Amino acid sequence: MDGSVKTETSGNQKTVDWKQNGVPDIDLLSVPSVNIEDDIIDRFQNDGAVLMPGLFENWVSQLRSGLQKNLETPNDYAFPCESIPEGAPGRFFDSYCNWLLIPEYYSHVTKSCAASVAGQLMRSTESQFFHEHAFCKEPGTQAATPWHQDMPYYCVDGKQTVSLYIALDETPAEVAVRFVKGSHRWDRLFHPVSFLDSEDFESIEEHLEAAPDVNENQEDYEILAWNLHPGDCIAFDFLTLHGTTAGEVKARRRAVSTRWLGDDVTYCERAIKTSPPFPNIGLEPGERMRTDWFPVLWQRRSPVVC
């Protein structure tokens, strides 16, 4: 992307400013809605992760095109990260905060029913968009996604959060992202680790506890894992412990997650540099995330009574 602003290295490559084109005002009425069944909402609330088969089937080809740009010229976009140790097979790529830089992502965030799905799952009156995060594991990859919760990487705190993880390829459960059922209710926070080497994300004096090694102790946990088809969506809480096995990925496995904040979410400061970092956010702990950077895209309407 010509003229893009290169900033300091983040992840393991140079990054660009994610809001270099400005954050437009988005008309709430232009964002579509869909009704989510109570049973799905209950399962999300109780288990911390729920599968919604085929929910975003109509978005697969657009999201694949967007991700292809991200993969082909990673340095034109925000926070590209390669997480395969030198000499190891495959490619494990991720990149986030590109919704204003990749039109296909922008279109999904603002023209799909994702905001309404997120709001209902969180039992929130509003859905505020946080960022998107894209992943690709190429065939031959044997790198596990370390077991982690997303919340400790983030500069937010609260109980009403959800990621909508959309599979873009056929993905057998053995190599798909998997979730520890109910872990969002453990009231524990695990120290963030790097996807490259599972080492602490940033060394700090004050450590949170390490995440348990779920792969080595599978019998101790109730694990949710599904065979995924393109367009399937897994909704999960920012506190839900998730990761993968180190099983070899036999076919390309791509996914895009959108991350959403509900009513009770506020800005917080962590001992680490957060991921994503949002320098100059200008907020005090406890304040609502600023809506000019993180737009509200859905509001619950009172039921019409006549």
Ligand X SMILES: O=C(O)CCC(=O)C(=O)O
Interaction of residue 133 with ligand X, rule CB under 6 A: yes
DSSP percent split of the chain into helix, strand, coil, nearest 5: 20, 25, 55
Q: What mask of x and - would describe binding to ligand X in positions 91 to 130, judged by CB under 6 A?
A: ----------------------------------------
Least distance (Å) between residue 270 CB and ligand X? 17
| Nearest residue to the partner ligand X, using Cβ | 145
Nearer to ligand X, 102 or 162 (CB): 162
**DSSP assignment letter at 171:** B
Q: Determine the Cα–Cα distance for residues 232 and 235; give it in Å rounded to an integer.
A: 10
Q: Closest by alpha carbon to 184, among 74, 76, 46? A: 46
**Are 271 and 206 contacting, i.e. CB atoms less than 8 angstroms apart?**
yes
Least distance (Å) between residue 152 CB and ligand X? 12
Nearer to ligand X, 24 or 53 (CB): 53
Helix, strand, or coil (residue 256):
strand
Written as one string, the DSSP assignment of 106-133 is HHHHHHSTHHHHHHHHTT-SEEEEEEEE
Q: Which of residues 138-177 bind ligand X (CB under 6 A)?
A: 145, 150, 163, 165, 177
β-bridge partners, 261: 128, 161
∠ CA(59), CA(291), CA(12), 5° rounding? Answer: 65
Q: Determine the Cα–Cα distance for residues 22 and 106; give it in Å rounded to an integer.
A: 13
Nearer to ligand X, 18 or 195 (CB): 195
Nearer to ligand X, 197 or 287 (CB): 197
Nearer to ligand X, 190 or 280 (CB): 190
Given candidates 105, 135, 201, 260, which one binds ligand X under the rule CB under 6 A?
Answer: 135
Least distance (Å) between residue 256 CB and ligand X? 9
Interaction of residue 232 with ligand X, rule CB under 6 A: no
Q: What mask of x and - would describe binding to ligand X in positions 251 to 290, judged by CB under 6 A?
A: ----x-x---------------------------------
Q: Closest by alpha carbon to 242, among 155, 176, 154? A: 176
Q: Under rule CB under 6 A, how many of the chain's residues touch ligand X?
A: 11
Q: Determine the Cα–Cα distance for residues 37 and 285; give it in Å rounded to an integer.
A: 35
Residue 240, token pair as written in the block: 């839900």
Which positions touch ligand X (CB under 6 A)?
A: 133, 135, 145, 150, 163, 165, 177, 242, 244, 255, 257
